[in-house]
Amino acid sequence: MTAINPVADYAVEGEVAVVTINSPPVNALSQAVREGLKLGVEKAEADPAVKATVIHCAGRTFIAGADITEFGKPHAAPFLPDVLDRIENAKKPVVAALHGTALGGGFEVALTAHYRIAVPSAKCGLPEIKLGLIPGAGGTQRLPRLVGPEKALDVILSGAPFGAREAHQWGVVDALAEEGKLREDALAYAARLIADKAPLTKVRDRDEKLAPARGKPEIFEAARKANARRYRGFEAWEKAIESVRNAVELPFDEGVKKEREMFMALLGSTQSKAQRHVFFAERAAAKIADIGPDIATKPIRSVGVIGAGTMGGGIAMNFLNAGIPVTIVETAKEALDRGVAIIRRNYETTAKKGRMTMAEVEARMARLTPTLDFAALAEPDLVIEAVYENMDLKKQIFGKLDGIARPGAILATNTSYLDVDAIAAQTKRPEDVLGMHFFSPANVMRLLEIVRGEKTSKSVLATVAALAPRIGKVGVTVGVCYGFVGNRMLAERQREAGKLILEGATPSQVDKVLTDFGLPMGPFAMSDLAGLDIGWSAETSKRATIREILCEEGRRGQKTGAGFYDYDAERNAKASPHVEAIIRAFAAEKGIAQREISDQEILERLVYPMINEGAKILEEGKAQRASDIDVVWIMGYGWPVYRGGPMFYADTVGLKTVLDRLKAYQAQFGDDFRPAALLEKLAAEGGSFSKA
Ligand code: 3H9
């Protein structure tokens, strides 16, 4: 074996050359990998003893795509399209041997080889859409030639990987290797190709799957219709459709040229930068500065959940799904039965949609132990309290839990606002206490705010951080403060929304500004969905706020058919002239002059105070990095991924602009807009949150 360069080796076995790429962690197509591939294939070409070449990767995966860290930086030769030309135009057959994940540019490398062999566990895919891109090295041109435009559109528009067996059935992979024996089987396969004098088949020359689609624009119109809702606000998806259409309608070289142009344009777009930022932000969030691999984690074999309400039930489902048994405790039988019935119903609904078998439903329900006996919490390794938001009640529960839970068990509260340290102080083991703040619906939303208390031990924090991905969550570590990261920033937005409607904007105007921005819902639609009467009581209500007036009138949100909006039987919202009149009258009573408010002012007043609060959170060390705040908002509140999160968005607007607008609003409306010191500093330096 000889080294081609630091990441590529060359070996000859019999008549077959093996070019092995070894560039951990995922063999991404860095300059060195591209060079290794090119030089490897050229060496095999020049070697008279060689009659075929196998491209193979060391480590856990075949090439998982372009090196995303290189995007946006000056690129060094050889460029990927040139490398691919070299492979495709080789005079001796090239076999790509796939294991792990052959994604994006990696899959495109495989598509230029003359033959592909894969182990059954391998996965192929073109996930570029998730990065705001389209495949940029022939993927949109070659895949349709193998599987037809419809299937290619499914793969490219979903970004979802498909398995090697499927790839084999579709004709994308020519042969399956035995699991764990890829190298040997690929060598044997190449030897057979040599013996059979197999032709140098090029995907680019195939036409049989394209011909039937030619002159049929309806195929692409259907894809557009099917994806319009899901990709509202996104740019790349329509380019992907256009490019696959080019595969059908244009000669290969022209299609590739146009694909490359569109890829390059998207690469420079703010959307793709935002989506790439989120890719790395999600991975960075898992890293906690003072917790290295030396910190031992505790085994979590079973979990207790206190409270079988909406949150408790949703939280329990996460663990049941991950195969971890759950004991769920309630104080009244009725509430317990209701909670368990809802969990079952959720699973059965999933089964009805074909996404789970009834046997799986039963297996999950069998892992659930409902009980009224608090003493059952002596067993679990982790107990999560999920009762309603009341400090006295939570304190009382933790005091009791301290006497029951076994030594070393982790005690977590699902509070969304309250002081985790005060809750921990009710126990004699505050080092075992932390917050696990799930987002509703807890079995769906991917965010978990992990609230690190003043005394939380490193081992407890490391355990919960490692548990998050096991239950399908992205864990973000945050510090103790009112509302932590997400709800603390949300409070800023809600306050301004409330002020804006008194000053003359309507609830539907405010909501529309945010849905146009890309959020799934505005503050008033969200309040109606949650119920306006959360935390409201008829006894203490004094018609002192719009919300109190609406609740007193029985307009308590969607569930009562009316809230800020009127709802029909299908829960479609309609603006309510009655509510608008209530707001006008209330404003008049308070002496607040109403005026036309521009959409731009609404957006700035809703979003800039959030960014400002994010800066304060960073200043206070309540979040580790700005990108963690972005992850919270994307995973927990539906912030549009193509805007990269509030802090990334601030960078795209320019921190100086954000600061200037905050100062202008401060002069007009007071200290709700007082800029954070960190924002002042970064704006003065010409800095950004991403680089801070
Ligand atoms: C493309 O290919 C464009 C082409 O069409 C055209 C080109 C001209 N680059 O996720 P993990 C890092 S677009 C750089 O934790 P897993 C990652 O940051 C690209 N780095 O592991 C992490 O680093 P760290 C199309 C990458 O086992 C480490 O590897 N390809 C890349 O859960 C481990 O990652 C994609 O979009 C990369 N491409 O999952 C694939 N990929 O340890 C993106 C990973 O420092 N990647 N890293 O935090 C993935 O989907 C997953 O990483 C993968 C492994 C499934 C491969």
| Closest atom of ligand 1 to CA, residue 130 | 36
Provide the pLDDT for residue 500.
Answer: 98
192 Cβ contact list (under 8 Å, min separation 6) = 198
Which run of H or of E encompasses 435?
strand 433-438
| Closest atom of ligand 1 to CA, residue 67 | 9
The two tokens of residue 204 are 């680019």
Provide the pLDDT for residue 1.
Answer: 87
| Closest atom of ligand 1 to CA, residue 61 | 56
CA separation for the pair 626, 437 (Å, rounded): 19
Q: Are 485 and 634 in contact (CB under 8 A)?
A: no
Say if ligand 1 is within 6 A of residue 136 CB.
yes
Say if ligand 1 is within 6 A of residue 68 CB.
yes
Q: Ligand 1: which of 7, 21, 23, 26 to mutate, most ligand atoms within 8 Å of CB?
A: 26
81 preceded by a cis bond (ω within 30 of 0): no
| Closest atom of ligand 1 to CA, residue 106 | 2
208 labelled catalytic: no
Say if ligand 1 is within 6 A of residue 285 CB.
no
Say if ligand 1 is within 6 A of residue 35 CB.
no
Say if ligand 1 is within 6 A of residue 103 CB.
yes
> How many Cα atoms are found within 13 Å in the side-chain-facing hemisphere of 559?
10
Measure CA of the first residue to CA of the last residue in the chain; give whole Å.
Answer: 45
Say if ligand 1 is within 6 A of residue 522 CB.
no
Residue nearest to atom 33 of ligand 1 (CA): 25
Q: Domains in the chain, start-ordered, CATH in brackets? A: 2-267 (3.90.226.10), 303-485 (3.40.50.720), 505-589 (1.10.1040.50)
Q: Compute, in angstroms, the gap from residue 156 CA to the centroid of ligand 1.
A: 17
| Closest atom of ligand 1 to CA, residue 260 | 8
Q: Compute, in angstroms, the gap from residue 276 CA to the centroid of ligand 1.
A: 10
Say if ligand 1 is within 6 A of residue 430 CB.
no
Residue nearest to atom 16 of ligand 1 (CA): 26
Q: What is the pLDDT of residues 185-239, one digit of tens each?
A: 999 999 999 999 999 999 999 999 999 999 999 999 999 999 999 999 999 999 9
Strand partners, 21: 8, 57
The two tokens of residue 144 are 């349709």
Q: Ligand 1: which of 21, 29, 34, 68 to mutate, most ligand atoms within 8 Å of CB?
A: 68
Say if ligand 1 is within 6 A of residue 675 CB.
no
DSSP strand pairing (115-118 vs 175-176): parallel
Give the type of residue at 189.
Answer: Y
Q: Compute, in angstroms, the gap from residue 65 CA to the centroid of ligand 1.
A: 7
CA separation for the pair 37, 83 (Å, rounded): 7
Q: Are 611 and 688 in contact (CB under 8 A)?
A: no
128 labelled catalytic: yes
Q: Are 20 and 45 in contact (CB under 8 A)?
A: no
The two tokens of residue 403 are 């006497």
Buried b (16+ CB within 10 A) or exposed e, 313-338: bbbbbbbbbbebbbbbbbeeeeebee
| Closest atom of ligand 1 to CA, residue 69 | 14
Of the residues 35, 128, 259, 379, only one is catalytic, namely 128
Residue nearest to atom 47 of ligand 1 (CA): 26
Q: Closest by alpha carbon to 340, among 377, 379, 314, 301?
A: 314
Of the residues 35, 88, 108, 492, only one is catalytic, namely 108
pLDDT along the chain (692 residues), means of 10: 96 97 97 97 96 98 96 90 97 98 98 98 98 98 98 98 98 98 98 97 97 96 97 97 98 98 97 97 96 96 97 97 98 97 97 96 98 97 95 97 97 96 98 97 95 98 98 98 97 97 98 97 95 89 94 95 96 96 97 97 98 98 98 97 98 98 98 98 96 82
Cα distances (angstroms) measured from residue 252 to each of 144, 206, 245, 249, 257: 11, 10, 12, 9, 9
Give the type of residue at 221.
Answer: E
Report which DSSP code applies to 676. Answer: P
Say if ligand 1 is within 6 A of residue 104 CB.
yes
In the chain, the largest separation of any two C-alpha atoms, in whole Å, equals 93
Residue nearest to atom 48 of ligand 1 (CA): 283
Q: Are 255 and 247 in contact (CB under 8 A)?
A: yes
Residue nearest to atom 56 of ligand 1 (CA): 64
Q: Compute, in angstroms, the gap from residue 642 CA to the centroid of ligand 1.
A: 18
| Closest atom of ligand 1 to CA, residue 81 | 8
| Closest atom of ligand 1 to CA, residue 283 | 48
Q: Compute, in angstroms, the gap from residue 163 CA to the centroid of ligand 1.
A: 18
CA separation for the pair 53, 89 (Å, rounded): 13
Q: Compute, in angstroms, the gap from residue 22 CA to the centroid of ligand 1.
A: 15
Alpha-helical regions (H) of 228-321: 236-249, 252-267, 270-285, 310-321
User: Which 3 state secondary structure label does DSSP give 383?
Assistant: strand
Q: Compute, in angstroms, the gap from residue 66 CA to the centroid of ligand 1.
A: 8
Cα distances (angstroms) measured from residue 378 to each of 117, 118, 242, 366: 53, 49, 60, 20
CA separation for the pair 612, 689 (Å, rounded): 11
The two tokens of residue 150 are 């419809």
Say if ligand 1 is within 6 A of residue 64 CB.
yes
Burial of 91 (0-12, 13-18, 19+ CB in 10 A): exposed
| Closest atom of ligand 1 to CA, residue 25 | 29
Q: Are 645 and 629 in contact (CB under 8 A)?
A: yes
Count of beta carbons in the 10 Å neighbourhood of residue 74: 5
Q: Compute, in angstroms, the gap from residue 64 CA to the centroid of ligand 1.
A: 6
Q: Compute, in angstroms, the gap from residue 92 CA to the centroid of ligand 1.
A: 31
Which run of H or of E encompasses 682?
helix 677-685
Residue nearest to atom 55 of ligand 1 (CA): 101
Provide the pLDDT for residue 593.
Answer: 95
The two tokens of residue 245 are 């259409």
Q: What is the dihedral of CA 189, 192, 193, 198, to 10 degrees?
A: -140
Q: Compute, in angstroms, the gap from residue 67 CA to the centroid of ligand 1.
A: 7
414 Cβ contact list (under 8 Å, min separation 6) = 311, 312, 315, 384, 385, 386, 435, 436, 437, 438
CA separation for the pair 397, 403 (Å, rounded): 10
Strand partners, 410: 382
Q: Closest by alpha carbon to 647, among 676, 608, 675?
A: 608
DSSP strand pairing (303-306 vs 123-125): unpaired
The two tokens of residue 281 are 């932000």
Cα distances (angstroms) measured from residue 669 to each of 500, 523, 662: 11, 21, 10
Q: Compute, in angstroms, the gap from residue 162 CA to the centroid of ligand 1.
A: 16
CA separation for the pair 10, 670 (Å, rounded): 69
Q: What are phi and psi of 366, to 5 degrees?
A: -65, -20
Say if ligand 1 is within 6 A of residue 100 CB.
no
Number of helices (H), then strands (E), in the chain: 27, 20
